[in-house]
Every structure is written in structure tokens, then in C-alpha cells.
A and B are shown apart, each in its own frame.
Chain A
Amino acid sequence: MRTLFAPLFVLLWIAPSAAQTRASEKEWNAVVEAAKKEGKVVVAGSPDPVMRNEIIPKFKERYGVAVEFLAGRSSEISARVKTERAAGIYSVDVYLAGPDTTATTLYADKIIDPLKPLLTMPEVADGSKWKRGKIWFADPEESFAVRAFSSVATLMFINTDQVKLEEMRAAKDLLNAKWRGKISTEDPTTTGSGANAAARFYHDQGEEFVRKLYLDQKAVRTRDRRQMADWLARGTHPICLSCREDDVRPLIKEGFKILEIFSLTDMPGSINGSPWMLTLADKAPNPKAAQLFANWILSREGLGIYARGYGSVGLRTDIDESNLNPGNLPKKGIKYFDDTDWSWIVSGRQEYRDKVWKLLKGK
């Protein structure tokens, strides 16, 4: 009897699921067809070689829908979009903006629509394809801003010709008089990775540490990312607090003795959601193409291209991670400081950044 009912149970369980899959595929195909009729999608974001060289041609090849990419710094993009909207013009469909812009401008200004109900591509909607069991919406309503990446961030880089790893085990090692004038950082007195790093030091180590590190140690500031990486490679300033991985890794490949440090004994590693968060513009002029693009960029193919291009760790389970730097892969059992946590972005970091600015500008 049991053997008789078992297949029946299986059939009853599978049939609705299969029907549902067919329905979602049908629904998804309708989205694709509608998007093709719209013919294009307008994406706004930071200047981005991966987008320009890989994403745009691949998406066009896959669906025949053109991607028009408006590149600019976030302040320029947001100024433009806000002025357009005040004049009743809605030109952007999708934003691929950094976490700060997403939280403090796009979300705060209410110029984005809920994305959750529109993520219907079967392989995107399938929770089993995501490391967290579902898509990670970072905003408080868990509906607007998708976080697609979570990589362990580099805390600092050292040139081992001049700084040995054993000399840089804890944050207090940075205060060794030996390193006075040898540390470089992106300018912490303005928005950017330098200020973010300083806010983190303030949060973890306190005001006195920040004063000693940035003022007493005479940390050299710059606004140019390449300048920092070059200083690091040449050993002019062999400790870099805010160099970018994509600037430094080519130097490591060239044989420069540069080491990435992801955590210190008194400062746990951090994870972040760079290079972008995904949001959908409200009143998008090409809504179906926007939906298609948003889904595809979160698919195995779309996210895979970005993860490979940026060396960032995507949150999908089916992306090949063999080419990534192992140091960037979050390890199980370690509690990381989340540098892209929503509340940290909108209030915590701002609060600490203000304290840093007050300290460094009022010196």
C-alpha cells in the first residue's frame, strides 16, 4: 500500500511545483518580450570598465536590448537626476550606485521603486541560488536595494621590502615611531575611502588613536588613488591605509613585494558590498527593460561577469570563485565588521566621520 502511495505523493508534490515553474517561466518570457519591444534600458552609475566592455555587449547579445550607460560621479548623477525630475523628466531606469549613494541619496530622496516584486527571473527568484537563502535587500523595508556582493575588504597594504608582516600585527603597531611619515591614506578630511577608514579606526580604536595615527604619525594624504598605489610599490610610503585592490593587485602580479592585510589582532576584518547596490528608478521610462536588466544582472551570467571583473565576491552560490583572491572570501565562523551595513552607512559612519573631520580639521 505504502509503495502504491509513494509515487502518488511525489506526483502530487511535484506537479504544482512544475506548474508553478511553467507559470513563472511564462511570466518571465512575457517580461523579456515586453523589454525587447521597449528596445533599450538606461543605466546610471559610476564610470565602470566592466560595464562598458563586458556587460553592455553581453546583455545586447543575450536579449537584443541596448544598454545606455550614464556614467558620472555619484554627486553628478544625483544632481542631474534630481534636476531632471524637478522638470518632469524621467530618463533613468536602473541605478548601479555605490552603497553610500544608494542609501543617502537614492533611497533618502525616494526616487527608487520597490524592486522585490519584480525579481521574477526563475534563477534569480530561486532562494537556493543565494548564499543567504534569499536575495539580500539591504534597506530597512527589505524591498528597494539589492546587495549582490560581500567581500572581505583589505584593511591595509604593506610593502614587505620595508615593513615585515610581524611588525604589523595590531593596530597599535601603526603608531610605532618607525613608521612616521611612511603611511599614506586617501585624504580623510573629505568623503571617500580615506574618511571611511578613519571612521572605522575611530569606531574601533578611539579618538586618541586617530589623533596619533593621522597627526602624530604624519600620515601622508592624497586624493589620487594611483598615487597611493605607486608610493606603496616604490616604497616611498610603504604602508597604505586606503589603497584600492584593483590598483594594487596588478603591482603584486608584477612582482612588487606587497602584502594585503585583512585584519589585525585588535581589529576584525570587514566585509563590504562594493562595487554597487542595485535599485530601480521610479517612473522608469523603460520599465520592462529595467526589470529585465535588473534580473539579468543578478543572474549567474550577469553577476558572474561583475564578480570576475572586479574580483568581488558575489552572493550567488553558482558563481565560479576559483579566480578570486582567497583573502576576499568571507570565512565561516568569523564575525566581520559590515562596512556596508545600512545603519552604519546612514548614521554610524557619518557620526564617526564628523568626529574625525572635527579632530583633523581643528588641529
Chain B
Amino acid sequence: MSLPAPTGVFVRPRVRLRPIRVAEIVALLFFAAAMGLPLVFLLVGSFNLASPGQAAIYGLGNWTSAFSDPTTLSALWMSFLLSSVRLIPAMIIAVIFAWLIARTDMPGGNAIEFICWLAFFIPDFPLTLAWILLLDPNYGFLNLLAQKLPWVDGPLFNPYSFWGIVWVHTSAGGIWFKVILLTPVFRRLGASLEEAARVAGANTVAMLRRVTLPVLAPMILAVAVLSFIRGLQSFNTELLLGIPAGIYVYSTRIYDYIRREPASYGEATALGSIFIVVLGALLFLYWRFLSGKRKFTVVTGQGYSVARVKLGKWRYVAMAGCIFYIAVMTLLPLIFLVIGSFMRRYGFFNISSPFTLAHWQSLLSDPIFLVALKNSLLIATMTSVGGIFLYSAVAYLLVSRRMVAAPLLEGLCWLPHILPGILLGLGILWLFLATPLRFIFYGTVWGIAMALMLGDSPVTTQAFRAGFMQLGADLEEAARVTGASWWYTYRKILLPLLAPIAGAVGLMNFGGALTSISIPVLLYSHQSRPLAILLLEYSVTGELERGAALGLLITAIICAMMLIGRKLGLRLSGM
């Protein structure tokens, strides 16, 4: 039986794409191209067994060779162990710091927050060297001091050990990274919930445990995941302190393959794939935790109080605790770092005339210094501002709950975090060269800024995502009802409320752009050379003192930006 022929004209129903759907499609396409393609390129490349310059032959050789290396598994285990062990105390300390700074009446909170920022941007390589000067079993300053005590026999500290690595990480950027990301979220927490807890008879600890921390769980978890993966990829400290003690970590193994002559990017990518598995598992758990009703909203249209928790007499104890921690963990090595930049030979106090201005003079008179400084400032500003707009929009999409493919978009945003920097740089280089836009991006400050911005995706997206999750939907609805457009609402209501977070990630990305080496090294040209490449040159050629001076100079630039940024951010948020 045949169907009757259709009569009349078939009218195709008009599909009306809502703006949110268009934004979703655009975001997915952009991130699939910008972040998915480099990964695909690297993965495909990892199966290519052909010798350089030969036609491709595909097989599993690189993977089997990477994973059959007897040291790979032990290095992986060591990385997990180190990352896990240092995550727990670091998270506890960071949460306490963020809470004290943002939610209590502890005196000097702003100054302490400023120092946390400063500490985050102290370059980790010279900082680790400073710790060696303090803790070395033979000549470490603290060990020599300790040995003057009658009951001390032999060195008390040894940085070349598992616990030495954990200690230095607890002092270096890792912990401050967490404080920086958590503080704005704590700050955004309205006081009404805490006040309700108090009225119900909860003491401060119970209130923290039962109210504050559960409400802030999205950001705390996101920071924990980010920190765990950062920990797995951590490199410099393990290189300086681990190898003399025979401690090898996974990232060192990846680095070894990249450094080979000729470089073995196939094996490096194969090893890097472990991070995809780890990230996948962590993201799955994270999504499961966050799924369900929106339960993390703390800022609604129904009144908002920023009153802080009163600590009473404990406020001075809290301040003293923070200052003590900062003094021991940051100021002490920082003093050595500053002194080191003025020493003829870093750490050698017993040579004749040990101090000099020569490293600073030679840095400032380096013919490419000023050009590199200008490039760096341009790149960092573009990275920072671009990142705020791009990732706040992405985060808005992710929490809007109107997206069909939110997990896919979020997964794509996490991708830069699983690739070691140089592999990410290589993938982005390939991407730029494969597009017609290569003349805009390749070898220019624009290209470097774009690449760095892509690399910033995980931290920035997650920070904004957690921030948006704190905002009630009624804020937006009220604006719409009164006739405000989405753009107006976004600009005038949402972004100002997120200004502290925008300020934090913006500054973090600004600083990161000034110091990042692995991405620009494949993309810069003579004209677009940033300061970080100078840092690389000083590091490779063993000019440690000049590197320390440049590192401190970069930290000073970030401090200046921080002061400006804080003023701007606080004014925007009206705090």
C-alpha cells in the first residue's frame, strides 16, 4: 500500500534559536577547536612511530615504551602521594586564611591578603633555593642555629626528602593559590546564614562546619581538584629537592621525554594521558556532588548582609597566627631571595665583598629588557581582561542550567589543565599555524595572549562558576522584569557582584602571563619576546642572581597591579 501523495505545500516549521542556545553552540565550537583540537593533534602524534622527517607510521610503540619504563609507575605513585599528602594541610590552612580574611573581624585582614598575593607570585625556583640555604643539612642557616642548642646533635632539617618537598610546597605558591581563589568566595558569602546559625546556638566551629563550608563547597572542591592536578604536574621543587634524594615524580619523567635529543613528544603525550583519566574521575565526582537542586546560593535579591563574624579576643590571636605563618613560610625565604639578588654569588656570604648591584644593573641595561617589559605588560593585560570576559560568560552558561551540553563544555574548559605546559604550547602552536588567522596570532603578542588565555581556562572558569552559583536567580529575574536586557543585567548586576572574583582571577592571570614560559617559548618572535623568555635564558645559562632580580621585579609589577586592581574591584563591587 502506498501512501497518498502529499497535497498542498509543506511548511517547514521555523526553528527559533534562543540566544542562550546560540551562545552554547558558539562556545562549544570555539572550545572544541581551541582546546580539543590541540589535544587530538597531540594524541594522534603520539601514535606516530616514524622517524623525524619520514612518512607517518602509526602504532602503539610510544605508549608501550613510555609505560614499560620501570621508573614510570614508581614516579606516578610518588606524584600521587606527594600531591595527596600536601593537599590536605594546604586546603585546611587556605580555608582558615580565607575565612579569617574575608569573614571575620580579624585586624589587618586586607594587609594579610595583600601579602598572600605577593607570596603567590614569588618565583618558585629561587624560593626553593632560598629554602635550601635555610634548611640544608650541611650549611642551612636554621640547621646551624639549631645546632647551637645543647640538646641538638646533627641537622634537624633536611629539604632533600619527601617531607622537605611537602614543606616547601606548603610555603610556595600552592597554598596562596588556594587562598586567593577562596577569599573572594568567602567574601561574597552573606552573613544571614551564619547569623541564623548563631541564633540557633551554634558556636564558631560548628557554624563553619555545618553552614559556611557546605555552602562554599563548589569552590572549595574546585580548588581542591585544581590543586591536586597542579600538584601532579608540579616540577621545579621536585627537581631541586627530590632528585638528590632519589625521589622522581611523574612530571619529571614527562619532562625527560621532552628534553631528549630528538625530543620524544609521543611518549610524553602518552604519559600525559594519565592526567586525562585522573581529571575525568575527579570531574565525575565533582559533577555528582554538585548535581541536584541549586543549594549553594548565598546572594539573593532578598537582602544581603556582609557583616563579619566577631572573634572577640581571639581576633588578635588569629592575626598573630597568620603573621607567624607568613613570617616563617614566606618572609624568611623571601628575605634570602631579595638578598640573593644583591649577592655576587647567591648564598655565598663568605666570599670577599659578597654584595653587589651588578645583577640589577645588568638586568635593567639588558638591551632587550625594555621591549620585553612592554610586550609582557601588553600580553598580561590582554590575557587578564580577555579571560575575565570570556570565562565569566562561559561560567554563566555552565550554571544557567539551560545548556544541553554543559558537561562537554566544562570538560573542554578543563583540558588545558591536564597537559604539561610545553605540550599545550605545542598543541596551540599547531592550531595557530593550521588556521588562516596565523598571520595575526603567530609570533605576535596577540597570539601569545590568546594562548595564555586558553591555558587559564580551568582556574578562571571554575572561579566564576563558583561565583555564579552563589548568586540567586531572582537577581536576574528582577532585572528582566524591570525591562533590563541580558547584557545590561550582566554588566550592571552580575559582573559587579562578581568583581572580587574577577579581580582575583584577573590578577592571577596577569601574573601568570608575566611568568609563564612554556607556552610563549613556542610562539614568540623577536618582536614579541616577553620577560618570561628572558627568565628562561637566565635560568638555562645559570644566571641565577639576575633571574632572581627579574623574578622580584615581576613580583613588584604584580604588586602594583594588585593595588590598582583591588581599588578598582572593590569600587565596582561597592565593598
Interface range on chain A: under 10, 10 to 19, 20 to 34, or 35 or more?
A: 35 or more
Docked CA distance A84–B522 (Å): 10
Are B438 and A221 within 8 A (Cβ)? no
Within B6-37, the residues touching A (CB, 8 Å) are none
Chain B nearest CB, measured from A102 CB (Å): 10
Chain A nearest CB, measured from B35 CB (Å): 18
Are A227 and B262 within 8 A (Cβ)? no
Within A148-196, the residues touching B (CB, 8 Å) are 187, 189-192
Docked CA distance A72–B518 (Å): 10
Within A69-126, the residues touching B (CB, 8 Å) are 69-76, 78-80, 82-84, 86-87, 89, 91, 100-101, 104-105, 108-111
Are B536 and A104 within 8 A (Cβ)? no
CB-CB under 8 A for A73 and B426, given A80-B522, A220-B244, A233-B348:
no
Binds A, one of B103-111, B214-222, B319-327, B427-435: B427-435
- Whether, in the assembled complex, A216 has its beta carbon less than 8 Å from a beta carbon of chain B, the answer is no
Pick from B138, B256, B426, B544: contact of A234, CB under 8 Å: B138
CB-CB under 8 A for A69 and B433, given A87-B438, A100-B261:
no
Per-position 1/0 for A241-266, Cβ under 8 A of B: 00010110011001100000000000
Are A244 and B430 within 8 A (Cβ)? no
CB-CB under 8 A for A71 and B533, given A104-B262, A108-B53, A191-B256:
yes
Interface range on chain B: under 10, 10 to 19, 20 to 34, or 35 or more?
A: 35 or more
Pick from B256, B351, B536: contact of A190, CB under 8 Å: B256
Chain A residues with CB below 8 A from B400, complex form: none
Chain A residues with CB below 8 A from B368, complex form: 52
Residues in B lying within 8 Å of A, measured CB to CB: 51-53, 69-71, 132, 136, 138-139, 239-240, 243-244, 246, 256, 258-263, 265, 344-348, 351-352, 366-368, 422, 426, 429-430, 433-434, 438, 442-443, 521-522, 524-527, 533, 536-538, 540-544
Pick from B434, B526, B533: contact of A87, CB under 8 Å: B434
Are B259 and A73 within 8 A (Cβ)? yes
Are A236 and B525 within 8 A (Cβ)? no
Are A47 and B243 within 8 A (Cβ)? no
Are B53 and A109 within 8 A (Cβ)? yes
Chain B residues with CB below 8 A from A71, complex form: 533, 536-537
Chain B residues with CB below 8 A from A52, complex form: 366-368, 537
Docked CA distance A225–B544 (Å): 10
Closest B residue by C-beta to A46: B540
- Whether, in the assembled complex, A223 has its beta carbon less than 8 Å from a beta carbon of chain B, the answer is yes
Q: List 19 A-B contacts (CB under 8 A).
A: A47-B538, A75-B258, A75-B260, A75-B263, A76-B422, A78-B262, A79-B422, A84-B433, A87-B433, A87-B434, A100-B261, A105-B261, A108-B52, A109-B262, A191-B259, A226-B346, A255-B351, A255-B352, A361-B69
Chain A residues with CB below 8 A from B348, complex form: 230, 233, 254
- Whether, in the assembled complex, A16 has its beta carbon less than 8 Å from a beta carbon of chain B, the answer is no
Are B263 and A78 within 8 A (Cβ)? yes
Are A70 and B537 within 8 A (Cβ)? no
Chain B residues with CB below 8 A from A230, complex form: 347-348
Chain A residues with CB below 8 A from B422, complex form: 76, 79
Are B442 and A89 within 8 A (Cβ)? yes
Pick from B69, B351, B434, B522: contact of A76, CB under 8 Å: B522
Are A70 and B522 within 8 A (Cβ)? no
Chain A residues with CB below 8 A from B346, complex form: 226
Pick from B69, B243, B260: contact of A223, CB under 8 Å: B243
Are A72 and B521 within 8 A (Cβ)? yes
- Whether, in the assembled complex, A49 has its beta carbon less than 8 Å from a beta carbon of chain B, the answer is yes
- Whether, in the assembled complex, A68 has its beta carbon less than 8 Å from a beta carbon of chain B, the answer is yes
Docked CA distance A192–B541 (Å): 14
Docked CA distance A190–B253 (Å): 9
Docked CA distance A234–B351 (Å): 11
- Whether, in the assembled complex, A42 has its beta carbon less than 8 Å from a beta carbon of chain B, the answer is yes
Decide if the interface of chain B is mainly helix, strand, loop or mixed. Answer: loop
Chain A residues with CB below 8 A from B429, complex form: 79-80, 83
Within A11-65, the residues touching B (CB, 8 Å) are 42, 46-49, 52-53, 56-57
Closest B residue by C-beta to A82: B52
CB-CB under 8 A for A57 and B259, given A79-B426, A89-B442:
no
Residues in A lying within 8 Å of B, measured CB to CB: 42, 46-49, 52-53, 56-57, 68-76, 78-80, 82-84, 86-87, 89, 91, 100-101, 104-105, 108-111, 187, 189-192, 220-227, 230, 233-234, 236, 244, 246-247, 250-251, 254-255, 361-362
Residue with the highest number of chain B CB atoms closer than 10 Å, among A49, A111, A223: A223
Chain A residues with CB below 8 A from B265, complex form: 79
Are B541 and A49 within 8 A (Cβ)? yes
Docked CA distance A247–B543 (Å): 9
Are B542 and A246 within 8 A (Cβ)? yes
Docked CA distance A236–B434 (Å): 52
Are B243 and A105 within 8 A (Cβ)? no
- What 17 new A-B contacts, CB under 8 Å, besides A105-B261, A247-B542? A42-B526, A47-B541, A53-B367, A68-B525, A71-B536, A71-B537, A75-B261, A76-B521, A78-B263, A79-B429, A82-B52, A87-B434, A108-B52, A222-B243, A234-B138, A246-B542, A254-B348
Docked CA distance A236–B256 (Å): 27
Docked CA distance A363–B347 (Å): 35
Are A83 and B526 within 8 A (Cβ)? no
Chain A residues with CB below 8 A from B367, complex form: 52-53, 56-57
Are A108 and B366 within 8 A (Cβ)? no
Chain B nearest CB, measured from A86 CB (Å): 7
Are B71 and A361 within 8 A (Cβ)? yes
Closest A residue by C-beta to B442: A89
Chain A residues with CB below 8 A from B537, complex form: 47-49, 52, 71
Chain B residues with CB below 8 A from A190, complex form: 256, 259-260
Closest A residue by C-beta to B545: A226
Docked CA distance A78–B429 (Å): 13
Closest A residue by C-beta to B258: A75
Chain A residues with CB below 8 A from B347, complex form: 230
Are A83 and B260 within 8 A (Cβ)? no
Are B522 and A191 within 8 A (Cβ)? no
Pick from A73, A110, A236, A255: contact of B540, CB under 8 Å: A73
Chain B nearest CB, measured from A322 CB (Å): 25
Chain A residues with CB below 8 A from B258, complex form: 75
Are A75 and B352 within 8 A (Cβ)? no
Residue with the highest number of chain B CB atoms closer than 10 Å, among A56, A72, A91, A247: A72
Chain A nearest CB, measured from B65 CB (Å): 12
Docked CA distance A361–B351 (Å): 39
Closest B residue by C-beta to A103: B261
Chain A residues with CB below 8 A from B259, complex form: 73, 75, 190-192
Docked CA distance A73–B434 (Å): 24
